[in-house]
Amino acid sequence: MTITITAFERSPDGGKGLARDMRVRWALEEVGQPYDARLLSFKAMKEPAHLALHPFGQIPTYEEGDLALFESGAIVFHIAERHAGLLPDDANARTRAIAWMFAALNTVEPPIFDRDLAKVLERDEPWYEQRLRVLEDSIRKRLGDLSSRLGDADWLDGAFSAGDLLMVTVLRRLQGSGMLEEYPNLSAYVARCEARPAYKRAFDAQLAVLTAASTG
Ligand code: GTB
C-alpha cells in the first residue's frame, strides 16, 4: 500500500531538515518503506481538504490505505510498531524505548521549541533577554541530565530505536546555538545519527524539495 506524507512546499528552515516531516521520512527510511510526499503551501494547509487530515492544519500527515494520521510522534510510533528496526522485541526494552519517545517530545522538546518561538515572536519585548535566559537555563538542565544518562553509550537504551530518532530530531534544533556543543557526548550522539544511511536519505529527500523549488 502506498504511503503518502505531507511536507512543506517551501520549508522556512532553508533545507536544514528541522521541520517535522524529517522525523517521519527518517523513520520510513530506517524501516525501508518507500513513500510519496505531497507538498503543501501554508495556504493549502489551512484549506478543508488538509484540515480533514490534520485538525490543526499542519504538516506532517501520513496516509496509508484507509489510515490517516497526524502528529509526528504518533506517526513514528505507528511506523515503529508496524515494521522491524525501530523498537526492540523484548517487551520491557520496547516500553523503555517508547518512554524515550515521550521524553523527547514531552520533556526535552518543549523548552527548545519555546526558545525558537521566543526568538521569532518576543525579540522586541523589554523582557526578552530575561525570558531567553530562563529558557536556556531549562534547556541546559535537560541537556545536562540527558548527557549524564547517555554517558559514553552510543544510544539511549541498548540498540538504536525510535526514541533515539525522535531525540535527535529535537536536539538538532540546537545545532549552532552553542548549547548542544557544551555537551560533547550529545554532539557526538547527533553526529552518529546523522551518519546513518537512512538519515542521509531522508535529509537528501527533504533538501531535494527545496532545490527543486528554487530551480523550478
Ligand atoms: N505536534 C505536531 C507534530 O509533531 O506533528 C506539530 C506539527 C508542526 O508544528 N508542524 C509545523 C507546521 O505545520 C511544521 S514543523 N507549521 C505550520 C502551521 O502551523 O501553520 C515545525 C517547524 C517549522 C519550521 C522550522 N524551521 O523553519 O526551522 C522548524 C520546525
CATH number of the domain that 163 lies in? Answer: 1.20.1050.10
Beta carbons of 88 and 94 less than 8 angstroms apart:
yes
Which atom of ligand 1 has the smallest separation from the CA of 71?
Answer: 5
Which atom of ligand 1 has the smallest separation from the CA of 16?
Answer: 28
Residues 147-162: tens digit of each pLDDT? 999 999 999 999 999 9
Residues 184 and 141 both lie in one domain: yes
Domain CATH for 77? 3.40.30.10
Residues 95 and 192 both lie in one domain: yes
Residues 109 and 45 both lie in one domain: no
Q: How many domains does the chain have?
A: 2
Residues 74 and 109 both lie in one domain: no
Chain-wide mean pLDDT for the chain? 97
pTM: 0.97
Residues 42-73: tens digit of each pLDDT? 999 999 999 999 999 999 999 999 999 999 99
Q: How far is the CA of 77 from the centre of ligand 1 (A)?
A: 18
Residues 97 and 176 both lie in one domain: yes
**Kind of pairing between the strands at 36-40 and 67-70:** unpaired
Q: Which structural domain range is residue 65 located in?
A: 3-85+198-215
What pLDDT sits at residue 41?
Answer: 97
Residues 95-112: tens digit of each pLDDT? 999 999 999 999 999 999
User: 60: cis peptide before it, omega within 30°?
Assistant: yes
CA 111 to chain centre: 15
Residues 176-195: tens digit of each pLDDT? 999 999 999 999 999 999 99
